[in-house]
Amino acid sequence: MKSFIAIVSSILVVTTFTQCGSAQKLDKKSPFTINKAYYQDWVGGRGTSKGTIVSIEFSNKTSKKIIFDSIFFKGKVIKLEHSISEDKQLITGNFITNIQRDKDIIMDIDPRKEMANKAPNVRINFPFDITDNECVISYSIKNKRHYFKLTNLKEERPIYYP
């Protein structure tokens, strides 16, 4: 009986410390120099879709060994796109939200007919505590994952596509 209690206790202790170790740690300093960081909403084509683009521009002096992965912003996460020009580098995350104005919600006494309704968007269990003008960039250096919190993102004027 004592050995059973000892085994259960050790499993509980190991599980507790494993959960603490899985928390994401943010780097205090960025390994890249940010020139400009902003986000802007967009609406496109007959109002059928919309979204937000987060853009971060930095100098080409940044180490080439950084591999950008994803960005966390307003309760969502998406893969980053990385582009390089002669004088600067740009990473962008495009958070797309489709609007379906044509589709009505089916309300019926028969629950099987209501199964055709699309499930609502539910926020994921977000690993970071950030405000609406902050984001977290996920990147790798030498196969080790890093996270950097970028504060004071500027909101630019929305883009309206025809």
**Tell me: the pLDDT tens digits for 134-160?**
999 999 998 999 999 999 899 999 988
Rounded to whole angstroms, the Cα distance separating 58 from 56 reads 7
**CATH number of the CATH domain containing 146:** 2.60.40
Domain that holds residue 78: 27-160
Q: Considering its fold, how many domains does the chain have in total? A: 1
Question: What are the DSSP calls for 118-136, one per residue?
Answer: PPPP-----SS---TT-EE
Q: Residue 35: in which H helix or E strand, if any?
A: strand 34-44
- What was the pLDDT predicted at 7? 54
pLDDT in the model for residue 21: 40
Instruction: Enter the pTM of the model.
Output: 0.69
User: Does residue 2 lie in a domain region?
Assistant: no
Residue 46 lies in a domain: yes
Residue type, 44: G
Cβ partners under 8 Å of residue 93, min gap 6: 53, 54, 70, 71, 73, 78, 79, 80, 81, 135
Q: Is residue 1 part of a domain?
A: no
